[in-house]
Amino acid sequence: MAAPHTLFLYYREKGELLKIVEFLERAFHCFQELSNGCGTGFEPLAWAEYCLETGDLDGAGRYARKAIFKAKPLDQLPIIICAQFTLARMWAARGQFLAARSVLNSLSVMVAEYNNPVFDNTLELCLGYIGGMLNEEQIFAPWLKDGNMKHSELFYQGMAFSKLIYAKYLLLEKNFFKLEVLCEELHQHFSIFNNLLGHIHAHILDAAAKYRLSGLLEAKTALLSAIDLARLDALILPFAEYGVYIGDLLKVMQKESPGDEYLGRLASEAMRYKANLQKLDREKTTAPPLTGREREILRLVIEGKTNREIAAMLFIAEVTVKKNVTSVYRKLGVRGRAAAVRKALELGIGAIIPPAGGGN
């Protein structure tokens, strides 16, 4: 469905998330048998997403890797994309942002091999989601920055998942007025199929906007709507990932209801996430880890060489150059050669890359 989150499509009634996952585990094998293995890895993927949303990060990692292991032999890339997206969010939730980026780097290289517009579109949604959390607007695809959903009309844009990523971009840009207006539209879109996770995110985004525009009272009302939808399923991560924007608000609400254990956990996880993200600025000032081959190719990119020229100089296939260049882009958090050169020089990478064949 071009959405990188399967439970986003199936979760439609509060208090029913666990039952949905258990039902999918019991029933989905029938589809797999009838379709000659299509969707292999779906059941552990559903459990991975359930664990992730409810804050069981160990379970999320374990099930996501199991899903990938099952999906790879049958080349089930949609399952792999969703599972890798789950792993990226899991690492980010642990505060290990380099690991989250590494997962997306590997996924980007893998997706590039297929040259499939649906897979490319889904990858861009993954990158936008993580970019919104990590304050990295440069990894948003241009169409997601513009809110141009015609780029993603296939399958109703993953049940409007792309509109959610656009909202994350507006939040990152601190365009709170436009975000507040968009949140009203989001609820209309999510109501068509009652995508409950969509509604929860929309309420949280609305609370973040109102907190800046209207003050505490209206923000609390919006956030309480999200909490009401999420409480019975004990959802944690949708709130924690917005910790920078709503962490302080949750702390205020926790003080007003000190006996509310669920609210207390939301506040604690949001503030922990916020603290981890505050460390990210220091992380961004250091050069990202590049492999020897990536450093060699980046040096030639800085010199202005084309992929074909680099391939000839290094005696490797042009597709290998393309994969490495894509990986470098992701690690640097840029899109395109010019931006990669600028970022490399800013970080001093260009000056420390040795010439091909070694050197000091």
Domain count, the chain: 2
Residues 245 and 322 in one domain: no
pLDDT computed for residue 351 by the predictor: 39
Reported as a single tens digit per residue, the pLDDT across 98-129 is: 788 888 888 888 888 888 888 888 999 999 99
What is the spatial distance between Cα 257 and Cα 141, in angstroms, rounded to a whole number? Answer: 41
Looking at the domain assignment, is residue 360 inside a domain? no
Q: Most distant CA pair in the chain: distance in Å?
A: 67
230-243: average pLDDT: 97
Looking at the domain assignment, is residue 359 inside a domain? no
What is the spatial distance between Cα 170 and Cα 146, in angstroms, rounded to a whole number? Answer: 10
Residues 183 and 310 in one domain: no
pLDDT computed for residue 286 by the predictor: 61
Residues 137 and 173 in one domain: yes
Q: Domain containing 43: what range?
A: 6-284
The full length of the chain comes to: 360
49-61: average pLDDT: 98
Kindly report the CATH number assigned to the domain that includes residue 130: 1.25.40.10
CB burial readout 81-98, b (16+ within 10 A) else e: bbbbbbbbbbbbbbeebe
Q: Taking a C-beta distance cutoff of 8 angstroms, is the pair 81, 122 a contact? A: yes
More confident residue, 289 or 193: 193
70-83: average pLDDT: 94
Question: CA triplet 166, 175, 179: central angle to 5 degrees?
Answer: 55
For the record, the structure tokens of 349 come out as 């990478």
